[in-house]
A and B are shown apart, each in its own frame.
Chain A
Amino acid sequence: MKAKLFLVLMLVSGMGSAREPGVAMQRVLPFPIFETQLENGLNVVTVPYNSPGVAAFYIVMRVGSREEVEPGKTGFAHFFEHMMFRGTEKYPKEKYSEELKAIGASANANTWLDRTVYHMTGNASMLDKMFELEADRFMNLKYSMQDFKTEAGAVKGEYTKNFSNPMMKLYESYADTAFVNHTYSHTTMGFIEDIIDMPNQYEYSTVFFERFYRPEYATIIVVGDVNQDNVVGMAKKYFGKWERGSYQATIPVEPAQNELKRVHMKVDNYPAQLVLSYKAPGFIDTSREAAALSLLASVIGSEKSPLYKKLVLEERKVRSFDATYFFTRDPFLFFIDVAMVNEDDLQYVKDEIDKYVREIIKKPVSKEFLEQIKSRLKYSLAMRMDSPDAIANTLSYFTWVTGDPQSVNKFYNTLKSITGGEVAAVAEKYLKPERLTLATISSSETQTIK
C-alpha cells in the first residue's frame, strides 16, 4: 500500500572548503559522505563506493511545486524539468540526445513537492562528460518557442496517463481541500487548467529559470567508483562560473486547521478506499517529533502492527493498509490509507483505526515493539544501500528536505532514543479529528462514514 500512495504522491514522474563527516555522530550509512561547498554556494557531495566502473551522478534542486506561489502557475516546476531536456546553444536538443546516448547512462529527472532531481547513472569513466553536459544545460539552457509549446503537450500527456487512476484524482481533491493557503494544496502535476495554459507561458519560463536554476538551490551528489578530489575538480571546472541568484519564494503559511474536512469520490467498479490525512509538522533531522512520527507510522501501518494483523490478516476486511509520515520541508500530512474489501465496512474500519490510536495514546507501545521497528528501519536502509544509484537516491531525499545529506545519519541517530511515550505524544498531538481530512472512494453518491 505504501508503494501505491507513494506512487500517487511522488508524481511522476574556484575555491571551496572541504569538510569531513562528523566523527562524533554514529553513521547509519557505512560510507563517509564528503562535502565541498564551492564559492558560488554549490554543494558537492561525494561518496566513494565499491562499484567498479559505475557512478551515479545526481543534481538535487530544492525547487518543486512548493515554490509555485503565483496563480495560474501550478505544475510549472515539473514542466520546467521537462524543458531542461530541450538543449542549449552548444548542445541543441538533437546533439544533446546524441551525447547522452553516447554516454550510455540511465538518465532521467523527477519533480515533487520540494524538489526537482536530475540523475544519471553510468560508466564512471564518462563522469567528466556528464559534468560538462549537465553544467551546460543548468547554466545555458536555451529552447525555442516551438520546443516550449511542444513540451507542454507532453505534460498534458503525462497528466492523461496518471489521472486514469482514481487515487490520483482523489489525492488532487483532498490536497486541495486540506490546504487553503499553502502550495501543497496542488499536486506536482498542477491543475488541468494551468496545464492547458502552459503553452502560453514561455516568458514566465525564462523567469523561472533565472530564479531557481542557481547554485544556491543545487547540490551535486556523486556516488560510486570515484574519488572526492576528481569530483570536486570537475565541479569547479564546469560549475565554477555558475552565478548565484537572489530569489526566494515566499511560501504562504497555512493556517491551523480547526475542523474535520471531507472529500468523497463516487467510483463504480473500484475497491473502496479510505484515506485519513492529518496535518503533520515538516521534517527536521534532529526533531524528536519527526522521528516519533516516523515510528508512529510503523506502529499503525506496518505488518507488525496489531491493527494490520486484525484488519488484513484475521478479519480480512481490508486488502491493504499502511501509514506514512512523509518528510517535507513545510508541514504536510500524516497518512493512513486503506483499500477495502467491502465498502460496507468503511465505518467499522475507521472506528477500529480510531480505537487503536486511542489505545496507543493511553498505553504507549512496548519498548520491545518499538525496538523491533527501529531494527527494521535500520536493516532496511542498510540492505537498500547496495548500488551507487540507491545510495545517491537516499542522500538526495534528505538533501532536498533539509539541504544537508548528513541528515540521514542525524535522523537515524535521533530515532534510536525515541520512547513509546514520545510516540504516544505525537499521536495525541497530531492525530486529532480537527486536523483530519477524511477522503473516501466508494460507489455511494456521498461519504457514508461519520
Chain B
Amino acid sequence: MKTTVKYLAGLMLAVLCSAAAVNAQNVRPEHKELIKKMQAEEAAKLKKAEEERKIENPTGDDATDQDVHSKVGGDEKYIMLPIPGSGKIVLKYMFLNGSASDPGGLEGLTYLTASLMAEGGTKKMTSTQVKDFLYPMAARTSASIDKEAVVFTFEFHKDHAEKVYPVISSLVYEPRFGQDDFERLKSNQQNYVDEVIKASSDEHYSKMALEERLFRNTTYQHLKQGYSQSIRSLTLEEVKAHYKGFFTQNNLIIGIAGDYTGGFAKTVENDKAKLPNEYPPKPDFVHPEMPEGLQIEIIAKEGALGAAIYTGTPLQATRAEDDFAALMIANSWLGEHRKSYSRLYQKIRQQRSMNYGDYSYIEWYEKGGQNMLPLPGVPRSLNYFSIWIRPVQTAAGLNKQIADQPAGMPADKDAEQDAGNDVEAGPESQSREIEYGHAYFALRMAIREMDKLINEGMSAEDFELTRQFLTSYMKLYVQTPEKQLGFLMDSRYYGRKDYLAEMENLFEGLNLEDVNNAMRQYWYTQRMHVAIVTDAAEAEALAESMRGGEPSPMIYSPALREVLSKEILAEDEEVSAYPLEIVNVQVTPSELFFKEPLD
C-alpha cells in the first residue's frame, strides 16, 4: 500500500503545473509525507476526471486533449511501410512517455521500467529463456528511452516472424517484472549514474550537465537514468504500477516495416488491445526560463585531460514548425554535425587545431559521439539550441606541450616574423605558467562566430550550397528500413506525415531572407547556459578569469605558432577580448553532479 501511495503521488506530480513541478524536483525526505498526501488527493481528482471523460466519451476517439500528445491523430497510430523482398521485418512500439513522466523523487523510473520490459522476460518465459529462444534467429531487441518517448525496436528475419512475434510482443504486453532482473538492471542503472557517466566520456558528461542546468525545475531536468538518490529508492512495485499507468494502448504508436504479410500486420494491430485502455497523464512541458546572460557551470573533475564544453539556450521551434527548415540551413552552415565544412569546425579545429571538432544543434542529437547521422526515436517538444565544443586543452596539457617544445626549438626567426608573431600573446607571453587552458577562448570564438552569422547574415552562395547539401544529405538519414520507419513515426509525433519529405519541400520555398530572419527570431547568443567539465586544478582560475571578463589570449605550442598566418593571429586578438555577457560562473565539484537535483 505504501508503495502504491508513493507511486500515485508520483503520477500526480507529472501533471502538476510548473510551479508544483519545482517542488517535485526538489523533494526532500522530510517533505515526503506531506507531498504524498497532496499527490494522493490530486491523483484521486485525476481519476475522477478520467471516469467522467469516459462516461461522456466512451471511445475517446475525438477527445484530442485526452490523447497523450494532441498532434498524434487517432487514426495515425499504426504506421505500415511494406518493403517486399527485403527479407526482414522491423517492428517498433513507440510509447509517448519518457523520463519527463518520472514522478518527482522517482527519477529513473521510466528508464528502469522500459529496461525491464526489454531485458526482463515475459510472463511465460524468463529473461534467460527469451535470450535462449531468440539467439539462433539473431532477432534483435532494443529499447530507446528519452524525455518524451520510449521506443522498443525488434528486427527479425521474415522466416521467423510467426515464431518470434509471440515472444517479443509479450515483452511489451506481458512483461515478467521479476525481482532478480529488477535488481540486476537497477544496479546497472545505479552504477551508470554513480560512476560510469563521469568516468567514460567527459564530453557526454558535459552534455548531461548542461541539461541538468538548462532544464532546472522542469520535468526535463534529470538524467533519463535518474539521480543516484532516486534510483536507490525505486521498487519493483513502483515499476509495475508505472507500467500499468503509462504503457497503455492510448499512448502508443506502432510501426511495421519490411517483408511482412497482411495477416501478420493485422495481428500486430489487433494485439494492441492487450494493453490497458487508459490515458496516462501528460507531463507539463513548460519551456525552461531564458537564462540571464551567460550562466556558466564549471564542473571540477580531478585529472580531466581536457575541457569539454556544451552550451545551450531554449529554442521555441521544433520539427512541427515550418520555420524549422530555415533554422536547419542556418545551423548546418554554422555547425553541421561531424562535418568539416561547417563554420565552427573550420574556425576552432581546422584553423587552430584546438580540438577534435565543433558543432551546433537545433534539436536533441542522440549519441552524437558515435553516429555520423541522426537517429530516430527521440522526439522532443522542448528544444534547445546548443554548441558542442569537444575537449580543448587544459592548463596542464598546454604547459606540458610547451615544455616539451620550448620556444625557438624549431623556429626560424624570419618565418616567425613573417607569420606575424609581433602581435601580443606571442612566445614571450607564453613563457608564463599557464593557469587555465583553451576553454574560455573556445567559448568566445564560438559565440563570436554565431553573433557574426546572425548580425551579418548568410551569403547567397552559402545559402544555396547549404540548401543543396541538406536536400541531398537528409536522404541519408533513412538508409535502412529501421531508419525509414523510425523517422516516419517521429513525423507523426510532430504532426507531420513525412518530416524529411516535407522539409525538402520547405527548402525549395525558402529564400535567404527567410533563413536570416529565422536566426534573428530564434537564436540567442549571449543568453546561454554553459557547462564545462575540466581539470579541477584549473577550474577556479578559469572561473575567476571569466567572472572578471578578462581577455583570454590564445596559447599555441611554439611549433604551431610559428607557421600560423597573420590573419589568424590577428583574429585571435579580437576573439581573446570578445565581450561576453557573463552573469554567473559557478564551480561545482564533479562528485555533486547527478546525486540529486542541483539547486
Task: Assess A157 versus B354: contact at CB under 8 Å? Given A54-B476, A383-B140, A383-B157.
Answer: yes
Cross-interface CB contact of B560 among A100, A104, A153, cutoff 8 Å: A153
Q: How far is the CA of A223 from the CA of B412 in the complex (A)?
A: 49
Cross-interface CB contact of A122 among B191, B470, B472, cutoff 8 Å: B472
Which residues of chain B are near A373, meaning CB under 8 Å? 136
Interface residues of A in 138-167 (CB under 8 A from B): 144-146, 149-154, 156-158, 160-161, 163-167
Task: Assess A269 versus B195: contact at CB under 8 Å? Given A122-B476, A154-B349, A316-B184.
Answer: yes
Q: Mark A85-120, 1 if CB is under 8 A from B, else 0.
A: 100000001000110111111101000000000000
B205 CB to nearest chain A CB (Å): 8
Which residues of chain B are near A50, meaning CB under 8 Å? 85
**Residue pair A100, B355 in contact (C-beta under 8 Å):** no
Q: How far is the CA of A389 from the CA of B373 in the complex (A)?
A: 12
**Residue pair A386, B480 in contact (C-beta under 8 Å):** yes
Nearest-CB residue, chain B, relative to A198: B559
Whether a CB of chain A sits under 8 angstroms from the CB of B233 is no
Q: How far is the CA of A205 from the CA of B329 in the complex (A)?
A: 37
**Residue pair A98, B391 in contact (C-beta under 8 Å):** no
Task: Assess A98 versus B157: contact at CB under 8 Å? Given A270-B196, A304-B135.
Answer: no
Whether a CB of chain B sits under 8 angstroms from the CB of A53 is yes
Whether a CB of chain A sits under 8 angstroms from the CB of B88 is yes
Mark the stretch among B11-19, B96-104, B125-133 that contacts chain A: B125-133
Nearest-CB residue, chain B, relative to A390: B480
Q: Mark A53-94, 1 if CB is under 8 A from B, else 0.
A: 110000000000000000000000000000001000000010
Whether a CB of chain B sits under 8 angstroms from the CB of A257 is no
Task: Assess A106 versus B373: contact at CB under 8 Å? Given A161-B355, A269-B198.
Answer: yes
Q: Mark B350-361, 1 if CB is under 8 A from A, else 0.
A: 111111100000
Q: Mark A291-312, 1 if CB is under 8 A from B, else 0.
A: 0000000000011100001001
**Residue pair A165, B559 in contact (C-beta under 8 Å):** no
Total B residues in contact with A, Cβ cutoff 8 Å: 81
Q: How far is the CA of A123 from the CA of B476 in the complex (A)?
A: 9
Q: How far is the CA of A314 from the CA of B178 in the complex (A)?
A: 12
Whether a CB of chain A sits under 8 angstroms from the CB of B57 is no
**Residue pair B183, A316 in contact (C-beta under 8 Å):** yes
Q: How far is the CA of A404 from the CA of B59 in the complex (A)?
A: 61
**Residue pair B341, A101 in contact (C-beta under 8 Å):** yes
Cross-interface CB contact of A309 among B128, B194, B198, B560, cutoff 8 Å: B128
Q: How far is the CA of A101 from the CA of B341 in the complex (A)?
A: 7
Whether a CB of chain B sits under 8 angstroms from the CB of A27 is no
**Residue pair B560, A199 in contact (C-beta under 8 Å):** yes
Q: Mark B299-316, 1 if CB is under 8 A from A, else 0.
A: 000001110100000000
Which residues of chain A are near B198, meaning CB under 8 Å? 269
**Residue pair A303, B481 in contact (C-beta under 8 Å):** no
Whether a CB of chain B sits under 8 angstroms from the CB of A405 is no
Task: Assess A108 versus B372: contact at CB under 8 Å? Given A54-B479, A101-B465, A164-B304.
Answer: yes
A271 CB to nearest chain B CB (Å): 6
By size class, the interface of chain A is: 35 or more
Q: How far is the CA of A314 from the CA of B191 in the complex (A)?
A: 19
Cross-interface CB contact of B390 among A104, A149, A157, cutoff 8 Å: A157
**Residue pair B557, A165 in contact (C-beta under 8 Å):** no
Q: Mark B120-155, 1 if CB is under 8 A from A, else 0.
A: 000000011001100111101000000000000001
Which residues of chain B are near A85, meaning CB under 8 Å? 340
Whether a CB of chain B sits under 8 angstroms from the CB of A448 is no
Which residues of chain A are near B400, meaning CB under 8 Å? 196
**Residue pair B480, A102 in contact (C-beta under 8 Å):** no
Q: How far is the CA of A146 from the CA of B561 in the complex (A)?
A: 9
Which residues of chain B are near A157, meaning CB under 8 Å? 306, 349, 353-356, 390-393
Whether a CB of chain B sits under 8 angstroms from the CB of A313 is yes
Q: How far is the CA of A372 from the CA of B370 in the complex (A)?
A: 30
Q: How far is the CA of A158 from the CA of B391 in the complex (A)?
A: 8
Interface residues of A in 154-192 (CB under 8 A from B): 154, 156-158, 160-161, 163-167
Whether a CB of chain B sits under 8 angstroms from the CB of A380 is yes
Q: How far is the CA of A123 from the CA of B471 in the complex (A)?
A: 11
A394 CB to nearest chain B CB (Å): 14
Whether a CB of chain B sits under 8 angstroms from the CB of A447 is no
**Residue pair A121, B195 in contact (C-beta under 8 Å):** no
**Residue pair B349, A269 in contact (C-beta under 8 Å):** no
Whether a CB of chain A sits under 8 angstroms from the CB of B86 is yes
Nearest-CB residue, chain A, relative to B370: A7
**Residue pair B180, A316 in contact (C-beta under 8 Å):** yes
**Residue pair A379, B137 in contact (C-beta under 8 Å):** yes
Whether a CB of chain A sits under 8 angstroms from the CB of B202 is yes
**Residue pair B138, A121 in contact (C-beta under 8 Å):** no
Q: How far is the CA of A164 from the CA of B469 in the complex (A)?
A: 34
Nearest-CB residue, chain A, relative to B468: A102
**Residue pair A160, B393 in contact (C-beta under 8 Å):** yes
Which residues of chain A are near B560, meaning CB under 8 Å? 149-150, 152-153, 199
Task: Assess A54 versus B475: contact at CB under 8 Å? Given A102-B468, A104-B469, A304-B131.
Answer: yes
Which residues of chain B are near A380, meaning CB under 8 Å? 138
**Residue pair B356, A376 in contact (C-beta under 8 Å):** no
Whether a CB of chain B sits under 8 angstroms from the CB of A15 is no
Most buried by B among A121, A160, A313, A382: A160
Which residues of chain B are near A312, meaning CB under 8 Å? 184
**Residue pair B465, A383 in contact (C-beta under 8 Å):** no
Whether a CB of chain A sits under 8 angstroms from the CB of B188 is yes
Whether a CB of chain A sits under 8 angstroms from the CB of B448 is no
Which residues of chain A are near B457, meaning CB under 8 Å? none
**Residue pair A375, B203 in contact (C-beta under 8 Å):** no
Q: How far is the CA of A199 from the CA of B353 in the complex (A)?
A: 11
Whether a CB of chain B sits under 8 angstroms from the CB of A260 is no
Whether a CB of chain B sits under 8 angstroms from the CB of A51 is yes
**Residue pair B563, A149 in contact (C-beta under 8 Å):** yes
Q: How far is the CA of A388 from the CA of B564 in the complex (A)?
A: 41
Cross-interface CB contact of B353 among A151, A372, A386, cutoff 8 Å: A151
**Residue pair A102, B469 in contact (C-beta under 8 Å):** yes
Q: How far is the CA of A118 from the CA of B124 in the complex (A)?
A: 48
Task: Assess A160 versus B397: contact at CB under 8 Å? Given A150-B351, A200-B559.
Answer: yes
B252 CB to nearest chain A CB (Å): 25
**Residue pair A271, B138 in contact (C-beta under 8 Å):** no
Q: How far is the CA of A324 from the CA of B135 in the complex (A)?
A: 17
Q: How far is the CA of A377 from the CA of B136 in the complex (A)?
A: 8
Which residues of chain B are near A104, meaning CB under 8 Å? 468-473
Whether a CB of chain B sits under 8 angstroms from the CB of A319 is yes
**Residue pair B199, A379 in contact (C-beta under 8 Å):** no
A381 CB to nearest chain B CB (Å): 8
Nearest-CB residue, chain A, relative to B415: A145
**Residue pair B350, A150 in contact (C-beta under 8 Å):** yes
Q: How far is the CA of A76 from the CA of B482 in the complex (A)?
A: 38
A306 CB to nearest chain B CB (Å): 10
Q: How far is the CA of A19 from the CA of B591 in the complex (A)?
A: 62
Known contacts A160-B391, A164-B306; can you find 13 more A-B pairs with CB under 8 A? A102-B465, A105-B476, A123-B475, A150-B351, A164-B201, A199-B405, A270-B195, A271-B195, A341-B191, A371-B136, A372-B136, A383-B157, A387-B480
Residues of A bordering B, CB below 8 Å: 7, 13, 50-51, 53-54, 85, 93, 97-98, 100-106, 108, 121-123, 126, 144-146, 149-154, 156-158, 160-161, 163-167, 193, 196-197, 199-200, 267, 269-271, 302-304, 309, 312-314, 316, 319, 341, 371-373, 375-380, 382-383, 386-390
Q: Rank and list the top 7 A-B pairs by shortest CB-CB distance, nearest first.
A: A104-B472, A153-B353, A379-B138, A157-B355, A160-B306, A97-B341, A199-B559
Residues of B bordering A, CB below 8 Å: 85-88, 127-128, 131-132, 135-138, 140, 155-157, 180, 183-184, 187-188, 191, 194-196, 198-203, 304-306, 308, 338-341, 346, 349-356, 370, 372-373, 390-393, 397, 400-401, 404-405, 410, 465-466, 468-473, 475-476, 479-482, 557, 559-560, 563-565
Q: What are 23 contact pairs spanning A and B, CB under 8 A?
A: A97-B341, A104-B469, A104-B473, A105-B476, A122-B476, A149-B353, A149-B559, A153-B354, A153-B560, A154-B355, A156-B393, A157-B349, A161-B202, A161-B203, A164-B201, A164-B306, A270-B195, A304-B131, A372-B136, A375-B138, A377-B138, A382-B88, A383-B138
